[in-house]
Amino acid sequence: MTKTAWVFPGQGSQSVGMGADFQDLPGAKYKFKIAEKILGWSVLDICQGDESTLARTLYTQPCLYVVESILVDLLAKKTGLPQLVAGHSLGEYVALYAAKVFDFESGLRLVKKRAELMDSSAGGKMAALMKFDRSQLNAALAETDNVVLANDNSEGQVVISGTPEAVKKIVDKVKAKRIMSLNVSGAFHSPLMYEASAQFLRVLDSVSFNDAKVPVISNVQPTPAFGKEELKQRLAQQMTGSVRWREIMLQFTQAEITHIIEVGPGKALRGLLKRTCREINLRGVDTLEQLNTLEQFYSKGLVLSS
């Protein structure tokens, strides 16, 4: 029996030109127009502009939400809804839209506020560690204030977040094959985002949620949930909580998912899934051509990464 999950990438997966492939479709045109009214700027213009502007948090997050939401509409029309959805950080908002927890406009208003708050945050630092000793990292984090595990992406890849001084202490203590500083101003997914989170919650409180049509796995609580109050509470914790993607991936196997579609630009989530969920068929969708070849994906039963 085929069981499908959709996953949605977050900040860092954006690429110049995304969304252009379906900009002339009536449904997409409508959403781009609505987005421009809400945001005060054109998603298509930003997506087809220069890379540095698109990479700014203020623009990246709304652009990804709009483009991925349009892909959700196209995909749902072609295949119907999946059996499970999950998104990485910003991608969780698209997962909630896909599960019909809120409408497109409500989700975009939340993402707009989130992006503004995160873009204006300062004084923090984030660093990615690849191929490290997890027990050594856990011990170092336990001994160091003002730094946390922000993204637990896989067994061999994590992101830490905190003050610059605290992040440096961890980097100096823990041996890793590769350590990379992230180009962000704030300590995202850490308690240092508390003030921004408090401002965001005032906007979140004003948005009505519905029970999910398909179960959603949240970043801060990686178990499937349907209930509107639970999903809203989980989202309320996301800005200061860790992205527990490693545990989310294990849920796909537990739920006996056979196919996973990464809905959005890039291959970041498939790269992580390929190493963790080896028995699950993988596919990415961010163009009309990829949408039109989904039948081949389901019929062949092969692990695909195109």
At 120-172, the pLDDT tens digits run 998 999 999 999 999 999 999 999 999 999 999 999 999 999 999 999 999 99
Query: Do 45 and 104 fall within a single domain?
Result: yes
Q: Which residues contact 101 (CB under 8 A, 6 or more apart)?
A: 209, 210, 211, 212, 216, 228, 231
Q: Are strands 147-154 and 157-162 parallel, antiparallel or unpaired?
A: antiparallel
Can you give the residue range of the structural domain that contains 151? 125-181
Residues 97 and 210 in one domain: yes
Are 118 and 188 contacting, i.e. CB atoms less than 8 angstroms apart? yes
Rounded to the nearest 10 degrees, the angle between the axes of helix 228-236 and helix 91-98 is: 170
Residues 19 and 39 in one domain: yes
End-to-end CA distance of the chain: give it in Å, rounded: 23
In this structure, is residue 186 part of a structural domain?
no
Collapse the DSSP code of 131 into the 3-class scheme (helix H, G, I; strand E, B; otherwise coil) and give the result.
strand
Residues 153 and 90 in one domain: no
For 17-71, the pLDDT digits (tens) are 999 999 999 999 999 999 999 999 999 999 999 999 999 999 999 999 999 999 9
Residues 6+ apart with CB under 8 A from 158: 128, 129, 132, 137, 149, 150, 151, 152
Whether 235 is in a domain gets the answer: yes
Distance CA 249, CA 86 (A): 9
Active site residue 15: no
Degrees to nearest 5, angle at CA 149 with 96 and 175: 140
Contact status, residue 186 vs residue 192, Cβ threshold 8 Å: yes
- Indicate which residue of 189, 190, 242, 259 is catalytic: 189
What is the C-alpha separation between 108 and 71, in angstroms, rounded? 15
Query: Using one digit for the tens of pLDDT, what is the confidence trace for 237-269?
Result: 999 999 999 999 999 999 999 999 999 999 999
Q: Are residues 129 and 170 in the same domain?
A: yes
Task: Give the chain's domain count.
Answer: 2
Asked if 88 is an active-site residue, the reply is: no
Buried b (16+ CB within 10 A) or exposed e, 119-157: bebeebbbbbbeebeeeebeebbeebebbbbbbbbbebb
Residue 306 within a domain: no
What pairs with residue 84 in β-bridges? 5
Candidate list 13, 69, 89, 121, residue with the active-site label: 89
